Structure 1
Amino acid sequence: MTADTIAATPAAPTTNGLKPSKPLGSESKPAPTDEQNTHNVTDSSVLHRNLKVVLPIVTHARGSYLYTSSGQRILDGSGGAAVVSVGHGVPEIISAVSSQISTLPYVSSALFAIQPAEELARRMCRDSGMERAVFLSGGSEAVESAIKLARQYHVERGERQRTEFIAREASYHGNTLGALSLGRHMARREFNEPLLSAHFHAVSPCNSYRHQSPSETEAAYVARLATELEEKILSLGPDRVAAFFAEPVVGAAAGCVPFVPGYLCAMKRVCEKYGVLFCLDEIMCGAGRTGKLHAWMNDLAPSSLPERLGGEGEESEDAEGEGWGEEARPDIQTLGKGLCGGYAPLSAVLVSRKVCEGLEGGSGAFRNGYTFQSSGTGVAAGLAVYEYMEKHDLEYALTSRVRQCARRGQYLRRLLEERVSPLPHVGNVRGLGLFQGIEFVADKESKAPFAPGEHVADKVANAILEHGAAVYHGAATRITGDHIMLCPPYTVSEAEIDELVDAVVKGIQEVFPQ
C-alpha cells in the first residue's frame, strides 16, 4: 500500500548472472562535492527512513518529471508510490488548494462541515454506488478506520462476539498497529510483532503466477481460494468473524499482482453467506489507476458498468449506481494516494448503504475521529483532482482521464511484454492499467527467487535511476522475492512511456548482462 524509501544495502556477490551494483543511496557512494545537490542524512536533523544514505535533492516537478538541484531531469515512473495521478504542477489544482488555504485552512469536523468535503463525498458516492465517505489524512488512517467501522457495525447490531478479521498472506495494509496486524508483510511487522493483535488471521493470496497449478483453470483456482476462505471462517467460528480485507491488485507487498477474474465476486459471496463484511483496500490501486474508477470494477463484465464509468454497455438509469457492480462492490472501501494526486494529504473510506444503516439503527454515530478529518486542504485537493479528471466530459465523472489511463496502460503493457519479458531473469510482467509490475527470478523455469542478500530489486531500481527514471521497488515479503512497479501519472504520453521502458530495459540489462 505505502512506499518504503530505497534501502541502503551492501553489494552482493555475482551469482545467477547478476552484476554487482551499489544499491540506491548506499553509503559506499562517493561523498557529494556540492551540498546543494545531494543531502547526506547522517548530517540531517530529520529522522529519515534510512539513516545511512545520500539523497538527491528534488527542487521542483512538472508533468511527469522531477528536477534535482544538480539539474538532472528524472522521469517519475512510479508517481512516488503510485500517488501522482494527474501529473505534477497542474495549475487548476494548485489554485484550488491555494484558494482553500487562503479562505479556510482548518476547522474541526466535530463541530462544522465544509463544502469541498460535502461535494467530493457526493461525487464519489454517486460514481461508486456507495452511501457515505469519510476523509482522512493517509492510507494507514483509512485502514484503521475501516477496521473500527467493521467492528462497530457488528456491535451496533448486537453481535459483539465478532472480533476476528481475515486478510491474506503477502499483504500490506499500512504502518499503524491495527493495519500492521491486518497485513502479512513480515519484514514490516518484525520489530512490532509482540505488539500486534491476535485477532487478525490470513488466507492464501490470489497470485496466479506463484500459486495457481499449471493444470488448474482460473475457475478452479478461484473456487479453491473461496473454499479456503470459507474453511477459515468456519474454523474461527462463523459468528465471530467481522470482516475480510483484500487489495484487488496487490501493490507494495507483491508488485501489482491482479486478482484472477471472478475472484472478488467469489470472495464476496462467501462473506455474505456468513454475515462477514467484504472490505477492499484500494489505497494504492484505486482512484482510476487500473483504468476503471475502482479496481474492483475490473471484476465485472463490461456490460455491467455504465458508460460513464468505463464500461461498454448501456448506461444505468439509476444515478446512484444501483443495478450494476453488485457482485464485487465492497461493504467498505479505502482509497488514498492517487485520490489527491500528491497535492495534499488525503485518504478516504467509502461506506455502503448496509453499513450506514447499521450505524443509523444503533448509536447514530461513527465512533472514530482524527484532528485533520475532512481537512480543508486535503478535500480541496481531492475535489480538484476529481474535477480535473472529468473536465473533458463534465456530465460523467472520471471518464476521459481514466480511459486515457486504460489506453496508456495497454500501451505500457505491450511494450513490457515485447521488450522486458524476454530479458534474463524477468519472471513475470503483470498488472492493470498504469499499475504494472515486473518480478525477477533466479530461474525462469522454476520461478525460484533470488536470495535476499542479493538485493536484486534495489540494484535494478538503482540502474534504472542512473538511466533517468525512478521506479518503485520491493519484495514479496521484503525478505524474499524481487519486483519493481511502474505507476506513472495518468497524463503520461506515449513518448514518455517509451522513455520509461527504455530506462527499464537498460537498467535490467546492466544488472543482468548477457
Structure 2
Amino acid sequence: MGSLGNTSKLAEPALFYQNVYESSFPHVASASGLYITLEDGREVLDATGGAAVSAIGHGNQRVNAAIIKQLSKFTYAHPGYFQNRVSHQLADILVESTGGKLARACLIGSGSEAVETAMKLARQYFLEQDPNSPRLHFISRQNSWHGCTLGALSVGDLKSRREPFLELLPNNVSQVSACHPYREQRPDETVEEYVARLAAELEEEFQRVGPGNVCAFVAETMVGTALGCVTALPGYFRAIREVCDRHGALLILDEVMCGLGRTGTMHAWEQEGIVPDIQAVGKGLGAGYATISAILIHQRVIDGLKAGSASFQHGQTYQCHPLNVVAALEVQRVILEEGLVHNAHKMGLLLGSSLRNAFANHPHVGQVRGRGLFWCIEFVADPVTKKPLDPKLNVAKRMRLRGLEKGYEICLFSSTGCADGWKGDHFMLSPPFTITAQDVEEIVSRTLRVVNSVFDEVSLQPAK
C-alpha cells in the first residue's frame, strides 16, 4: 500500500472540482503581493485577485500573524452557545463603514450563503408583521449572478450555470431587464428616458405579480460575472428604490463581488444615492484569507424582528467562526489604515484610462467599462453592430488559458453570455487595492499581448 495521501498510482485524480478528468491547470507553490508563483517557477500576475477576492494581495504578514495568534487561543466555539469578541469587532467595523446607514451585520460563509440568508431574512421580516403574509415573491434582473446554491441560483440568470437545474428551482421568482446601456439603451433614448423605461418595467412586474405579494427586489449594484462590470446609469437605483418603497417591498443589493472598496467607495451603493434594506458582501471581506461573507441589515428590518419574535430562524455551524472572522477583521483594518479604498479609486481611474487607450482602435473590442478596480473588456465581431463573436471560437476562454501560458503569465477572469445570456465574450480585471501605477502599466501590457495573440490565431470567418 502507498503512503496516506499518495495519489500518484491512481488511474484518475481523487479530487473533484468541476471537470471529471485531470485538470491541466498549473499547481501553485506560493503567492506574495500581486504574484502567484507556480511549481515550475513562473510568476503569474494576479490581475483578477482570483474572482475579485484578493483585495490586499497575497501573503500579507499582518493578516497571517492575526490568524496565527487566534490559533493559539481557540479555533471554534459554536455560535449558538458562545460569543467571541472578534465577531463583535468585525460587525462594528462593517456597520461603521456604512456611516450608520445600516445597523447590524450577520457573519456567515460564502457569497451564495449571504444571498440565501438575505432572502430568508426578507421573508421573515414580513412574517413577523403578518404570519399569513403573502409576500414571498422575489423580483430580480436578467443577466445577473447571485451564487450557485438553489435560492441564489433562482434569483440569478447566468444561463449556462442555471439552465441544468431549472426544475429544481423555486417558482417564486421573476425577472426584469438589467440596466445595460451598452446593449439595451435605444439610440434615440436619453438616460432619463431609459431609466424611466426600466422603472416602468419593474412597476409593471409588481402589478402583474400583485404588489402585496412581492417580498424584495434583488440586484447587483454593479453587475459582475454575467455582464462584466456593468455600472447602472445615474438615477436608476433611485428610481428602483422608489418603486420598492411605493409597494412596501425590500431592496436587497448583492455586493459580494463589487463591494467593500472594489468600486472606489467602501460600498457601491454610496455612488448611487440610495441605501439598501439588506446588503450582501463577501469576496473582499476576507480577501482570500478566510471563507467568510456577511449581510448588512437596515434598522427597519431589525425593528421588524423586534416587533415579533426578535429571533431570526437561521443558524449555521460556521457562523462567526473565529479564524475566518479574525482574518477578515485584520483585512478590513489594513484596508482602512492604509487608505486602500482611496487607492482603488485613484488607480482605478488610471487603469480605466490605460485600458481604453490601449484598446481604442482594436477591431474586436466592443467596450471597455468599469469603475474603481473592477474593469471589463467585451469582445465583438463588429464594434459598429455590436454583433457577438461566434461562441464556437471560445475567445474568452482562450484568453484566460493563454494568460496562464509561458511568456504571458497573467490571470484574466473570463466569462460568456454578456450579449444575450449565451453569446458574448468578455473578461474582467479586478486587481488588489494595493496596486501602483507601475503595476497598472504591467497589467495593461500583458493583457494587450494576450488579446493580440488570441486574435492573431482565431479565424473570424462566419460560422456555417
TM-score, reference length from structure 1 = 0.84
SS in 2 for 1:88: coil
Cα displacement (A) at 1:41: 11
Q: In the alignment, does 2:231 pair up with 1:258?
A: yes
**Contact 1:40–1:54 at 8 Å: present in 2 too?**
no
Quick one: distance in 1 between partners of 2:337 and 2:157?
40
Quick one: distance in 2 between partners of 1:244 and 1:380?
32
Match of 2:73 among 90, 103, 107: 103
Cα displacement (A) at 1:465: 2.9
How many pairs were matched up? 442
Cα displacement (A) at 1:40: 13
Q: In the alignment, does 2:421 pair up with 1:475?
A: no
**Contact 1:93–1:381 at 8 Å: present in 2 too?**
yes
**Contact 2:399–2:412 at 8 Å: present in 1 too?**
no
**Contact 1:41–1:51 at 8 Å: present in 2 too?**
no
Letter in 2 for 1:330: P
TM-score, reference length from structure 2 = 0.93
Aligned match of 2:389 = 450
Q: In the alignment, does 2:221 pair up with 1:275?
A: no
Aligned match of 1:500 = 443
Match of 1:183 among 135, 156, 174: 156
Q: In the alignment, does 2:403 pair up with 1:464?
A: yes
Letter in 1 for 2:344: C
Aligned match of 1:356 = 302
Q: In the alignment, does 2:374 pair up with 1:428?
A: no
Aligned match of 1:382 = 328
**Contact 1:40–1:55 at 8 Å: present in 2 too?**
no
Quick one: distance in 1 between partners of 2:290 and 2:318?
12
Structure 1: stretches of 5+ with no match in the other structure:
1-38, 301-327, 393-399
Aligned match of 1:157 = 129
Cα displacement (A) at 1:291: 0.3
Q: Would you identify which runs of 4 or more consecutive aligned residues in structure 1 move more than 6 Å?
A: 39-42
CA RMSD of aligned residues (A): 1.6
Structure 2: stretches of 5+ with no match in the other structure:
1-7, 458-464
Cα displacement (A) at 1:464: 2.9
Quick one: distance in 2 between partners of 1:417 and 1:258?
16
Aligned match of 1:137 = 109
Cα displacement (A) at 1:379: 1.0
Quick one: distance in 1 between partners of 2:334 and 2:9?
38
**Contact 1:290–1:405 at 8 Å: present in 2 too?**
yes
Instruction: Write out aligned runs for 1:68-147 (5 A).
Output: 68-128=38-98, 129-147=101-119
**Contact 1:142–1:348 at 8 Å: present in 2 too?**
yes
Aligned match of 1:337 = 283
SS in 1 for 2:352: helix
SS in 1 for 2:443: helix
Cα displacement (A) at 1:104: 1.6
Quick one: distance in 1 between partners of 2:323 and 2:265?
26
Q: Name the % identity.
A: 40
SS in 1 for 2:139: strand
SS in 2 for 1:442: strand
Q: In the alignment, does 2:195 pair up with 1:195?
A: no
Cα displacement (A) at 1:384: 0.3
Quick one: distance in 2 between partners of 1:424 and 1:85?
32
Quick one: distance in 2 between partners of 1:74 and 1:510?
17
Letter in 2 for 1:58: V
Quick one: distance in 2 between partners of 1:217 and 1:285?
26
Quick one: distance in 2 between partners of 1:479 and 1:452?
8
**Contact 1:332–1:349 at 8 Å: present in 2 too?**
yes
Quick one: distance in 2 between partners of 1:507 and 1:51?
28
Q: In the superposition, relative to structure 1, how do residues 449 and 119 fare at CA in structure 2: closer, same or farther (>3 Å)?
A: same
Quick one: distance in 1 between partners of 2:169 and 2:9?
34
Quick one: distance in 1 between partners of 2:306 and 2:268?
29
Quick one: distance in 1 between partners of 2:15 and 2:329?
32
**Contact 1:41–1:55 at 8 Å: present in 2 too?**
no
Letter in 1 for 2:161: R
Match of 1:60 among 12, 30, 39: 30
Quick one: distance in 2 between partners of 1:99 and 1:93?
10
Aligned match of 1:51 = 20
Aligned match of 2:3 = none
SS in 1 for 2:55: coil
Quick one: distance in 2 between partners of 1:363 and 1:101?
36
Aligned match of 1:148 = 120
SS in 2 for 1:47: coil
**Contact 1:168–1:204 at 8 Å: present in 2 too?**
yes
Deviates most, 328-337 or 467-476: 467-476
Q: In the superposition, relative to structure 1, how do residues 91 and 194 fare at CA in structure 2: closer, same or farther (>3 Å)?
A: same
